[in-house]
Structure 1
Protein backbone atom coordinates (compact mmCIF):
# COMPACT_ATOMS: atom_id res chain seq x y z
CA UNK A 1 0.00 0.00 0.00
CA UNK A 2 2.83 2.34 0.69
CA UNK A 3 3.98 1.96 -2.91
CA UNK A 4 0.57 2.90 -4.29
CA UNK A 5 0.49 6.20 -2.40
CA UNK A 6 3.94 7.00 -3.77
CA UNK A 7 2.66 6.29 -7.28
CA UNK A 8 -0.22 8.70 -6.83
CA UNK A 9 2.07 11.35 -5.42
CA UNK A 10 4.41 11.09 -8.41
CA UNK A 11 1.51 11.45 -10.79
CA UNK A 12 0.42 14.67 -9.05
CA UNK A 13 3.99 16.02 -9.13
CA UNK A 14 4.35 15.26 -12.84
CA UNK A 15 1.07 16.94 -13.77
CA UNK A 16 1.97 20.02 -11.73
CA UNK A 17 5.35 20.26 -13.43
CA UNK A 18 3.68 20.36 -16.86
CA UNK A 19 0.87 22.73 -15.95
CA UNK A 20 1.20 25.99 -17.82
CA UNK A 21 1.39 29.23 -15.88
CA UNK A 22 -0.91 30.67 -18.57
CA UNK A 23 -3.69 28.50 -17.13
CA UNK A 24 -3.46 30.38 -13.84
CA UNK A 25 -5.50 33.24 -15.34
CA UNK A 26 -8.96 32.52 -16.70
CA UNK A 27 -9.57 32.81 -20.45
CA UNK A 28 -11.75 35.88 -19.82
CA UNK A 29 -8.67 37.79 -18.63
CA UNK A 30 -6.69 36.81 -21.73
CA UNK A 31 -9.72 37.82 -23.82
CA UNK A 32 -9.56 41.28 -22.20
CA UNK A 33 -5.84 41.58 -22.90
CA UNK A 34 -6.06 40.48 -26.55
CA UNK A 35 -8.04 43.54 -27.83
CA UNK A 36 -5.42 45.81 -26.29
CA UNK A 37 -2.72 43.83 -28.07
CA UNK A 38 -4.68 44.04 -31.34
CA UNK A 39 -5.21 47.78 -30.94
CA UNK A 40 -1.50 48.34 -30.40
CA UNK A 41 -0.23 46.13 -33.22
CA UNK A 42 -1.93 43.78 -35.62
CA UNK A 43 1.32 41.86 -35.93
CA UNK A 44 1.47 41.44 -32.15
CA UNK A 45 -2.05 39.95 -32.24
CA UNK A 46 -0.95 37.45 -34.88
CA UNK A 47 2.14 36.64 -32.80
CA UNK A 48 -0.05 36.16 -29.74
CA UNK A 49 -2.28 33.76 -31.69
CA UNK A 50 0.80 31.76 -32.76
CA UNK A 51 2.20 31.45 -29.21
CA UNK A 52 0.00 28.72 -27.77
CA UNK A 53 -3.50 27.25 -27.69
CA UNK A 54 -4.53 29.44 -24.75
CA UNK A 55 -3.58 32.61 -26.63
CA UNK A 56 -4.98 31.33 -29.93
CA UNK A 57 -8.37 30.77 -28.34
CA UNK A 58 -8.41 34.09 -26.53
CA UNK A 59 -7.02 36.16 -29.41
CA UNK A 60 -9.25 34.65 -32.10
CA UNK A 61 -12.62 35.36 -30.53
CA UNK A 62 -15.14 37.69 -32.14
CA UNK A 63 -14.99 39.81 -28.99
CA UNK A 64 -11.36 40.68 -29.71
CA UNK A 65 -12.10 41.80 -33.24
CA UNK A 66 -15.21 43.74 -32.18
CA UNK A 67 -13.39 45.64 -29.40
CA UNK A 68 -10.07 46.30 -31.16
CA UNK A 69 -9.48 50.01 -31.65
CA UNK A 70 -7.95 51.22 -34.89
CA UNK A 71 -5.11 53.43 -33.66
CA UNK A 72 -3.20 53.29 -36.92
CA UNK A 73 -3.90 56.23 -39.21
CA UNK A 74 -6.58 55.51 -41.78
CA UNK A 75 -4.04 56.15 -44.53
CA UNK A 76 -1.94 53.22 -43.24
CA UNK A 77 -4.56 50.77 -44.52
CA UNK A 78 -4.24 52.22 -48.04
CA UNK A 79 -0.73 50.80 -48.38
CA UNK A 80 -1.74 47.34 -47.08
CA UNK A 81 -4.73 46.51 -49.27
CA UNK A 82 -3.80 42.82 -49.64
CA UNK A 83 -1.85 42.10 -46.47
CA UNK A 84 -2.79 40.84 -43.05
CA UNK A 85 -3.96 44.34 -42.12
CA UNK A 86 -6.70 44.08 -44.75
CA UNK A 87 -7.83 40.66 -43.48
CA UNK A 88 -7.76 41.99 -39.92
CA UNK A 89 -9.87 44.98 -40.95
CA UNK A 90 -12.37 42.75 -42.78
CA UNK A 91 -12.74 40.42 -39.77
CA UNK A 92 -13.27 43.37 -37.43
CA UNK A 93 -15.93 44.80 -39.77
CA UNK A 94 -17.66 41.40 -40.04
CA UNK A 95 -18.21 41.24 -36.28
CA UNK A 96 -19.49 44.82 -36.02
CA UNK A 97 -16.45 46.90 -35.02
CA UNK A 98 -17.61 50.43 -35.90
CA UNK A 99 -14.06 51.78 -36.46
CA UNK A 100 -13.37 48.92 -38.85
CA UNK A 101 -16.69 49.33 -40.68
CA UNK A 102 -15.79 52.99 -41.25
CA UNK A 103 -12.28 52.19 -42.43
CA UNK A 104 -13.50 49.34 -44.62
CA UNK A 105 -16.01 51.73 -46.23
CA UNK A 106 -13.27 54.31 -46.78
CA UNK A 107 -10.94 51.77 -48.38
CA UNK A 108 -13.70 50.22 -50.50
CA UNK A 109 -14.92 53.60 -51.77
CA UNK A 110 -11.62 55.28 -52.57
CA UNK A 111 -8.69 53.07 -53.54
CA UNK A 112 -10.77 50.04 -54.50
CA UNK A 113 -13.44 52.06 -56.33
CA UNK A 114 -16.31 50.00 -54.88
CA UNK A 115 -18.56 53.04 -54.46
CA UNK A 116 -21.84 51.27 -53.62
CA UNK A 117 -20.26 48.92 -51.11
CA UNK A 118 -18.20 51.76 -49.62
CA UNK A 119 -21.26 54.00 -49.21
CA UNK A 120 -23.22 51.14 -47.65
CA UNK A 121 -20.48 50.55 -45.07
CA UNK A 122 -20.07 54.28 -44.33
CA UNK A 123 -23.83 54.64 -43.80
CA UNK A 124 -23.79 51.58 -41.52
CA UNK A 125 -20.90 52.98 -39.47
CA UNK A 126 -22.75 56.31 -39.16
CA UNK A 127 -25.91 54.51 -38.04
CA UNK A 128 -23.85 52.69 -35.39
CA UNK A 129 -22.33 55.89 -34.01
CA UNK A 130 -19.36 57.00 -36.14
CA UNK A 131 -19.88 60.72 -36.75
CA UNK A 132 -16.77 60.77 -38.97
CA UNK A 133 -18.37 58.15 -41.22
CA UNK A 134 -21.50 60.29 -41.42
CA UNK A 135 -19.45 63.36 -42.31
CA UNK A 136 -17.66 61.50 -45.10
CA UNK A 137 -20.90 59.94 -46.30
CA UNK A 138 -22.58 63.37 -46.38
CA UNK A 139 -19.66 64.92 -48.29
CA UNK A 140 -19.70 62.11 -50.85
CA UNK A 141 -23.46 62.36 -51.30
CA UNK A 142 -23.26 66.13 -51.80
CA UNK A 143 -20.27 66.20 -54.15
CA UNK A 144 -19.89 62.81 -55.84
CA UNK A 145 -23.52 62.05 -56.69
CA UNK A 146 -25.75 63.60 -59.29
CA UNK A 147 -29.08 62.29 -57.99
CA UNK A 148 -30.87 65.27 -56.38
CA UNK A 149 -32.42 63.04 -53.70
CA UNK A 150 -28.99 61.74 -52.66
CA UNK A 151 -27.57 65.26 -52.60
CA UNK A 152 -30.42 66.37 -50.32
CA UNK A 153 -29.80 63.37 -48.08
CA UNK A 154 -26.14 64.46 -47.80
CA UNK A 155 -27.17 68.02 -46.94
CA UNK A 156 -29.50 66.72 -44.22
CA UNK A 157 -26.79 64.46 -42.77
CA UNK A 158 -24.36 67.40 -42.69
CA UNK A 159 -26.97 69.57 -40.99
CA UNK A 160 -27.54 66.86 -38.36
CA UNK A 161 -23.79 66.72 -37.69
CA UNK A 162 -23.61 70.53 -37.47
CA UNK A 163 -26.51 70.63 -35.01
CA UNK A 164 -24.84 67.94 -32.88
CA UNK A 165 -21.83 70.25 -32.49
CA UNK A 166 -19.38 67.76 -33.99
CA UNK A 167 -18.73 69.42 -37.34
CA UNK A 168 -15.44 70.99 -36.25
CA UNK A 169 -14.06 67.72 -34.80
CA UNK A 170 -14.94 65.95 -38.07
CA UNK A 171 -13.16 68.64 -40.07
CA UNK A 172 -10.04 68.22 -37.92
CA UNK A 173 -10.22 64.44 -38.27
CA UNK A 174 -10.26 64.61 -42.07
CA UNK A 175 -7.60 67.30 -42.12
CA UNK A 176 -5.39 64.84 -40.23
CA UNK A 177 -6.19 62.09 -42.76
CA UNK A 178 -5.17 64.41 -45.59
CA UNK A 179 -1.81 64.99 -43.93
CA UNK A 180 -1.39 61.23 -43.33
CA UNK A 181 -2.12 60.49 -47.01
CA UNK A 182 0.43 63.07 -48.16
CA UNK A 183 3.08 61.57 -45.85
CA UNK A 184 2.21 58.06 -47.06
CA UNK A 185 2.46 59.08 -50.73
CA UNK A 186 5.81 60.79 -50.12
CA UNK A 187 7.12 57.64 -48.42
CA UNK A 188 5.82 55.38 -51.19
CA UNK A 189 7.28 57.43 -54.01
CA UNK A 190 10.49 58.62 -52.38
CA UNK A 191 13.60 57.96 -54.47
CA UNK A 192 15.56 54.82 -53.59
Structure 2
Protein backbone atom coordinates (compact mmCIF):
# COMPACT_ATOMS: atom_id res chain seq x y z
CA UNK A 1 0.00 0.00 0.00
CA UNK A 2 1.33 3.45 -0.94
CA UNK A 3 0.99 6.75 0.87
CA UNK A 4 -0.02 10.02 -0.82
CA UNK A 5 3.66 10.71 -1.54
CA UNK A 6 4.10 7.34 -3.18
CA UNK A 7 6.05 5.79 -0.33
CA UNK A 8 5.27 2.16 0.39
CA UNK A 9 4.27 1.13 3.87
CA UNK A 10 6.65 -1.49 5.30
CA UNK A 11 5.43 -5.01 4.83
CA UNK A 12 4.86 -6.89 8.04
CA UNK A 13 7.88 -9.03 8.88
CA UNK A 14 10.15 -7.43 6.24
CA UNK A 15 13.36 -5.83 7.58
CA UNK A 16 13.39 -2.03 7.57
CA UNK A 17 16.41 0.13 6.65
CA UNK A 18 17.43 0.53 10.30
CA UNK A 19 17.16 -3.16 10.93
CA UNK A 20 19.19 -3.90 7.79
CA UNK A 21 21.87 -1.46 9.01
CA UNK A 22 21.92 -3.15 12.40
CA UNK A 23 22.29 -6.52 10.72
CA UNK A 24 25.19 -5.22 8.65
CA UNK A 25 26.93 -3.66 11.68
CA UNK A 26 26.59 -6.88 13.66
CA UNK A 27 27.91 -9.04 10.86
CA UNK A 28 31.27 -10.68 11.57
CA UNK A 29 34.33 -8.91 10.14
CA UNK A 30 32.64 -5.50 9.90
CA UNK A 31 35.15 -2.63 10.40
CA UNK A 32 33.70 0.26 12.41
CA UNK A 33 36.73 2.41 11.48
CA UNK A 34 35.53 2.60 7.87
CA UNK A 35 32.31 4.40 8.80
CA UNK A 36 34.08 7.15 10.80
CA UNK A 37 33.85 10.54 9.05
CA UNK A 38 37.12 12.05 7.83
CA UNK A 39 36.71 15.01 10.20
CA UNK A 40 36.93 12.72 13.23
CA UNK A 41 39.95 10.88 11.86
CA UNK A 42 41.65 14.21 11.13
CA UNK A 43 41.03 15.41 14.69
CA UNK A 44 42.59 12.18 16.00
CA UNK A 45 45.66 12.64 13.82
CA UNK A 46 45.97 16.30 14.83
CA UNK A 47 46.01 15.20 18.45
CA UNK A 48 48.61 12.51 17.75
CA UNK A 49 50.85 14.89 15.81
CA UNK A 50 50.61 17.80 18.25
CA UNK A 51 51.54 15.60 21.24
CA UNK A 52 54.26 13.49 19.58
CA UNK A 53 57.42 13.19 21.67
CA UNK A 54 59.59 11.85 18.86
CA UNK A 55 59.39 11.32 15.08
CA UNK A 56 58.48 7.65 15.57
CA UNK A 57 55.22 8.59 17.30
CA UNK A 58 53.89 10.34 14.21
CA UNK A 59 55.46 8.02 11.63
CA UNK A 60 54.03 4.91 13.30
CA UNK A 61 50.57 6.49 13.22
CA UNK A 62 50.89 7.13 9.48
CA UNK A 63 52.03 3.55 8.94
CA UNK A 64 48.94 2.12 10.65
CA UNK A 65 46.80 2.00 7.50
CA UNK A 66 46.37 3.65 4.13
CA UNK A 67 43.64 5.95 5.39
CA UNK A 68 45.82 7.24 8.22
CA UNK A 69 48.68 7.74 5.77
CA UNK A 70 46.51 9.71 3.34
CA UNK A 71 44.80 11.86 5.96
CA UNK A 72 47.99 12.26 8.03
CA UNK A 73 49.55 14.25 5.20
CA UNK A 74 46.62 16.65 5.15
CA UNK A 75 47.64 20.28 5.62
CA UNK A 76 45.42 20.54 8.72
CA UNK A 77 47.43 17.80 10.42
CA UNK A 78 50.86 18.95 9.20
CA UNK A 79 50.25 22.49 10.44
CA UNK A 80 49.81 21.22 14.02
CA UNK A 81 52.68 18.73 14.23
CA UNK A 82 54.84 19.29 17.33
CA UNK A 83 58.49 20.38 17.28
CA UNK A 84 59.67 17.01 18.64
CA UNK A 85 58.33 15.35 15.49
CA UNK A 86 61.22 17.02 13.65
CA UNK A 87 63.84 15.87 16.18
CA UNK A 88 65.80 13.73 13.73
CA UNK A 89 69.54 13.06 13.94
CA UNK A 90 72.07 14.19 11.37
CA UNK A 91 72.57 10.67 10.01
CA UNK A 92 68.83 10.42 9.35
CA UNK A 93 68.80 13.42 7.02
CA UNK A 94 67.61 12.63 3.51
CA UNK A 95 65.68 14.13 0.62
CA UNK A 96 62.48 12.60 2.04
CA UNK A 97 63.02 14.33 5.38
CA UNK A 98 63.64 17.61 3.60
CA UNK A 99 60.43 17.26 1.58
CA UNK A 100 58.45 16.44 4.72
CA UNK A 101 59.79 19.52 6.55
CA UNK A 102 59.09 21.68 3.51
CA UNK A 103 55.57 20.31 3.25
CA UNK A 104 54.90 21.03 6.92
CA UNK A 105 56.32 24.52 6.50
CA UNK A 106 54.10 25.16 3.48
CA UNK A 107 51.12 24.03 5.57
CA UNK A 108 51.86 26.78 8.09
CA UNK A 109 53.82 24.87 10.74
CA UNK A 110 56.14 27.43 12.37
CA UNK A 111 58.27 24.76 14.07
CA UNK A 112 58.97 23.12 10.70
CA UNK A 113 59.82 26.48 9.12
CA UNK A 114 62.21 27.33 11.95
CA UNK A 115 63.88 23.90 12.01
CA UNK A 116 64.34 23.80 8.25
CA UNK A 117 65.57 27.40 8.28
CA UNK A 118 68.26 26.62 10.87
CA UNK A 119 69.39 23.56 8.89
CA UNK A 120 69.50 25.46 5.62
CA UNK A 121 71.30 28.46 7.10
CA UNK A 122 74.00 26.67 9.10
CA UNK A 123 74.34 23.14 7.68
CA UNK A 124 73.98 23.79 3.95
CA UNK A 125 75.14 27.45 3.93
CA UNK A 126 71.95 28.46 2.12
CA UNK A 127 71.79 31.73 4.01
CA UNK A 128 69.07 33.44 2.04
CA UNK A 129 66.58 30.57 2.09
CA UNK A 130 67.37 29.71 5.71
CA UNK A 131 66.88 33.27 6.91
CA UNK A 132 63.63 33.53 4.92
CA UNK A 133 62.26 30.39 6.59
CA UNK A 134 63.20 31.66 10.05
CA UNK A 135 61.60 35.00 9.22
CA UNK A 136 58.46 33.14 8.18
CA UNK A 137 58.30 31.62 11.68
CA UNK A 138 59.23 34.91 13.34
CA UNK A 139 56.33 36.69 11.66
CA UNK A 140 54.06 34.19 13.43
CA UNK A 141 55.57 35.25 16.81
CA UNK A 142 57.83 32.22 17.16
CA UNK A 143 60.18 33.26 19.98
CA UNK A 144 63.15 30.94 19.15
CA UNK A 145 63.08 32.16 15.54
CA UNK A 146 63.11 35.79 16.65
CA UNK A 147 66.02 35.13 18.99
CA UNK A 148 67.98 33.21 16.32
CA UNK A 149 67.54 36.06 13.87
CA UNK A 150 68.72 38.45 16.60
CA UNK A 151 71.89 36.36 17.04
CA UNK A 152 72.46 36.49 13.27
CA UNK A 153 72.12 40.29 13.32
CA UNK A 154 74.39 40.71 16.37
CA UNK A 155 77.14 38.50 14.88
CA UNK A 156 76.67 39.43 11.24
CA UNK A 157 76.41 35.71 10.46
CA UNK A 158 76.70 34.79 6.82
CA UNK A 159 78.51 38.00 5.93
CA UNK A 160 81.45 40.15 6.90
CA UNK A 161 82.02 41.80 10.25
CA UNK A 162 80.78 45.09 8.84
CA UNK A 163 77.25 43.79 8.14
CA UNK A 164 76.28 43.58 11.81
CA UNK A 165 72.94 45.20 12.55
CA UNK A 166 72.95 45.89 16.27
CA UNK A 167 69.74 47.92 16.24
CA UNK A 168 67.92 45.21 14.30
CA UNK A 169 69.25 42.59 16.70
CA UNK A 170 67.98 44.56 19.71
CA UNK A 171 64.52 44.94 18.13
CA UNK A 172 64.26 41.21 17.40
CA UNK A 173 65.59 40.39 20.85
CA UNK A 174 63.05 42.70 22.48
CA UNK A 175 60.23 40.99 20.58
CA UNK A 176 61.42 37.55 21.70
CA UNK A 177 61.81 38.83 25.27
CA UNK A 178 58.25 40.15 25.19
CA UNK A 179 57.13 36.61 24.32
CA UNK A 180 58.97 35.28 27.40
CA UNK A 181 62.15 33.86 25.84
CA UNK A 182 64.61 33.63 28.75
CA UNK A 183 67.83 33.90 26.72
CA UNK A 184 66.42 36.91 24.87
CA UNK A 185 65.57 38.58 28.18
CA UNK A 186 69.11 38.02 29.41
CA UNK A 187 70.63 39.22 26.12
CA UNK A 188 68.49 42.36 26.16
CA UNK A 189 69.45 43.05 29.77
CA UNK A 190 73.16 42.96 28.93
CA UNK A 191 72.60 45.13 25.85
CA UNK A 192 70.94 47.77 28.02
CA UNK A 193 73.64 47.59 30.69
CA UNK A 194 76.48 47.86 28.14
CA UNK A 195 74.76 50.23 25.71
CA UNK A 196 75.18 47.66 22.93
CA UNK A 197 72.91 48.60 20.03
CA UNK A 198 70.68 50.65 22.32
CA UNK A 199 70.96 53.56 24.72
CA UNK A 200 72.67 52.62 27.96
CA UNK A 201 70.23 52.09 30.83
CA UNK A 202 71.77 50.16 33.72
CA UNK A 203 68.62 50.15 35.86
CA UNK A 204 66.41 48.79 33.09
CA UNK A 205 69.08 46.24 32.15
CA UNK A 206 69.20 44.99 35.73
CA UNK A 207 65.42 44.62 35.71
CA UNK A 208 65.57 42.41 32.62
CA UNK A 209 68.30 40.25 34.16
CA UNK A 210 66.26 39.80 37.34
CA UNK A 211 63.21 38.85 35.27
CA UNK A 212 65.29 36.33 33.29
CA UNK A 213 66.44 34.67 36.52
CA UNK A 214 62.89 34.66 37.88
CA UNK A 215 61.48 33.08 34.72
CA UNK A 216 64.25 30.49 34.65
CA UNK A 217 63.62 29.53 38.26
CA UNK A 218 59.85 29.36 37.71
CA UNK A 219 60.30 27.13 34.65
CA UNK A 220 62.59 24.75 36.54
CA UNK A 221 60.31 24.61 39.59
CA UNK A 222 57.29 23.81 37.40
CA UNK A 223 59.13 20.86 35.82
CA UNK A 224 60.77 19.63 39.02
CA UNK A 225 58.26 20.65 41.66
CA UNK A 226 59.00 17.78 44.07
CA UNK A 227 62.06 18.28 46.20
CA UNK A 228 63.88 20.79 44.00
CA UNK A 229 63.83 23.61 46.54
CA UNK A 230 64.79 21.38 49.48
CA UNK A 231 68.38 21.86 50.59
CA UNK A 232 68.83 25.08 48.60
CA UNK A 233 68.63 28.65 49.69
CA UNK A 234 69.60 31.94 48.15
CA UNK A 235 72.81 33.57 49.33
CA UNK A 236 72.85 37.33 48.92
CA UNK A 237 70.43 39.84 50.30
CA UNK A 238 70.17 42.57 47.72
CA UNK A 239 68.89 41.38 44.32
CA UNK A 240 69.84 44.73 42.76
CA UNK A 241 73.51 44.02 43.58
CA UNK A 242 73.52 40.36 42.44
CA UNK A 243 71.15 40.72 39.51
CA UNK A 244 73.82 39.84 36.94
CA UNK A 245 74.46 36.54 38.69
CA UNK A 246 72.82 33.34 37.52
CA UNK A 247 70.59 31.04 39.54
CA UNK A 248 73.43 28.52 39.83
CA UNK A 249 75.58 31.16 41.54
CA UNK A 250 73.20 31.07 44.51
CA UNK A 251 73.67 27.35 45.24
CA UNK A 252 71.05 25.81 42.94
CA UNK A 253 71.91 22.65 41.03
CA UNK A 254 70.08 23.26 37.77
CA UNK A 255 69.11 20.35 35.52
CA UNK A 256 70.20 20.79 31.91
CA UNK A 257 67.40 22.35 29.84
CA UNK A 258 66.15 20.49 26.78
CA UNK A 259 67.35 22.18 23.63
CA UNK A 260 65.18 22.81 20.60
CA UNK A 261 65.25 19.94 18.03
CA UNK A 262 66.97 22.23 15.52
CA UNK A 263 69.85 22.86 17.95
CA UNK A 264 70.17 19.14 18.66
CA UNK A 265 70.36 18.51 14.92
CA UNK A 266 73.09 21.14 14.49
CA UNK A 267 75.08 19.65 17.37
CA UNK A 268 74.97 16.18 15.82
CA UNK A 269 75.63 17.54 12.31
CA UNK A 270 78.77 19.48 13.28
CA UNK A 271 80.08 16.83 15.66
CA UNK A 272 82.33 15.48 12.88
CA UNK A 273 81.83 17.67 9.80
CA UNK A 274 83.04 21.22 10.35
CA UNK A 275 83.20 22.87 6.89
CA UNK A 276 86.39 24.74 7.84
CA UNK A 277 88.77 23.62 10.64
CA UNK A 278 89.44 27.28 11.44
CA UNK A 279 85.76 27.79 12.31
CA UNK A 280 84.50 27.01 15.78
CA UNK A 281 81.23 25.69 17.17
CA UNK A 282 79.50 27.34 20.12
CA UNK A 283 80.92 25.82 23.31
CA UNK A 284 77.47 25.34 24.81
CA UNK A 285 76.61 21.72 24.00
CA UNK A 286 72.93 22.49 23.57
CA UNK A 287 73.45 25.09 20.83
CA UNK A 288 75.31 23.57 17.87
CA UNK A 289 75.67 26.85 15.95
CA UNK A 290 78.96 27.13 14.01
CA UNK A 291 80.82 30.25 12.99
CA UNK A 292 80.16 31.46 9.46
CA UNK A 293 83.49 33.32 9.39
CA UNK A 294 86.64 33.35 11.52
CA UNK A 295 86.45 34.97 14.96
CA UNK A 296 82.70 35.50 14.73
CA UNK A 297 81.94 34.26 18.25
CA UNK A 298 83.04 35.85 21.50
CA UNK A 299 85.60 34.19 23.75
CA UNK A 300 85.16 33.73 27.48
CA UNK A 301 86.84 36.79 29.00
CA UNK A 302 88.33 34.75 31.88
CA UNK A 303 89.76 31.54 30.41
CA UNK A 304 89.79 32.60 26.75
CA UNK A 305 89.11 29.01 25.67
CA UNK A 306 85.35 28.67 25.26
CA UNK A 307 83.52 30.50 22.47
CA UNK A 308 79.87 31.51 22.47
CA UNK A 309 77.47 32.76 19.82
CA UNK A 310 75.44 34.75 22.37
CA UNK A 311 75.14 35.79 26.00
CA UNK A 312 72.37 33.25 26.41
CA UNK A 313 74.60 30.32 25.44
CA UNK A 314 77.38 31.67 27.67
CA UNK A 315 75.00 31.79 30.63
CA UNK A 316 73.70 28.28 29.87
CA UNK A 317 77.20 26.82 29.63
CA UNK A 318 78.25 28.56 32.84
CA UNK A 319 75.29 26.99 34.59
CA UNK A 320 76.00 23.55 33.12
CA UNK A 321 79.58 23.32 34.41
CA UNK A 322 81.89 25.94 32.88
CA UNK A 323 81.88 27.66 36.26
CA UNK A 324 84.07 24.79 37.57
CA UNK A 325 86.53 24.64 34.67
CA UNK A 326 86.85 28.37 33.94
CA UNK A 327 90.16 29.67 35.26
CA UNK A 328 92.63 32.37 34.15
CA UNK A 329 95.44 29.81 34.47
CA UNK A 330 93.95 27.82 31.60
CA UNK A 331 94.36 30.79 29.26
CA UNK A 332 97.95 31.39 30.43
CA UNK A 333 98.85 27.74 29.83
CA UNK A 334 97.36 27.86 26.33
CA UNK A 335 99.27 31.06 25.49
CA UNK A 336 102.53 29.57 26.75
CA UNK A 337 101.94 26.36 24.82
CA UNK A 338 101.34 28.38 21.65
CA UNK A 339 104.50 30.41 22.22
CA UNK A 340 106.56 27.22 22.49
Q: Normalising by structure 2, report the TM-score.
A: 0.44
- Structure 1 window deviating more from structure 2 (166-175 vs 54-63): it is 166-175
For residues 53-80 of structure 1, what are the alpha-carbon distances to aligned partners after superposition, in whole Å with 9 as ceiling and x for unaligned?
4323431211110011112575x35443
* Structure-2 change in CA distance of 1:157 and 1:99 (3 Å): same
Q: Size of the alignment, in residue pairs?
A: 183
How far the C-alpha of 1:91 sits from its partner, in A, is 1.4
**Structure 1 residues 128-156: Cα deviation after superposition (integer angstroms, max 9, x where no partner):** 11111010011012211445474432232
SS state of the match for residue 134, structure 2? helix
- Give the CA deviation at 1:88: 2.5
Gap regions ≥5 residues in structure 2: 1-10, 187-215, 217-255, 274-340
Matched, 1:80 2:95: no
Change (3 A) 1:180 1:49: closer
2-side partners of 1:179 and 1:108: how far apart? Answer: 13
Aligned to 1:29: 40
Matching of residues 20-169 of structure 1 within 5 Å: 20-38=31-49, 39-71=52-84, 76-82=88-94, 84-143=96-155, 144=157, 145-146=159-160, 148=163, 150-162=165-177, 164=178, 166-169=180-183
The question of whether the paired residues in 2 share the 8 Å contact of 1:42 and 1:85 is answered with no
- 8 Å CA contact 2:89, 2:268 repeated in 1: no
Q: Is residue 123–residue 269 contact of structure 2 (8 Å, CA) maintained in 1?
A: no
Task: Indicate the structure whose relative CO is greater, using CA pairs within 8 Å and at least 6 residues apart.
Answer: 1
* Greater fraction helix: 1
Q: TM-score of the superposition, structure 1-length normalised?
A: 0.71
Once the two structures are TM-superposed, the CA of residue 105 in structure 1 deviates from its matched residue by: 0.5
RMSD: 4.0
- Rg (Cα) greater in structure: 2
Structure 1 residue aligned with 2:294: none
Question: CA distance change for structure 1 residues 20 and 137 in 2, over 3 Å: closer, same or farther?
Answer: same
Secondary structure of 1:71's aligned partner: helix
Q: Aligned partners of 2:69 and 2:130: how far apart in 1?
A: 31
Structure 1 Cα separation of the partners of residues 266 and 59 of structure 2: 29
**How far apart in 1 are the matches of 2:153 and 2:37?**
48
- The Cα offsets for residues 94-131 of structure 1, whole Å up to 9 and x where unpaired, read as 11101111111111111111111111111111111111
CA distance in 1, matches of 2:124, 2:134: 14
Stretches of structure 1 that go unaligned for 5 or more consecutive residues are none
Q: Which moved more, 1:124-133 or 1:139-148?
A: 139-148
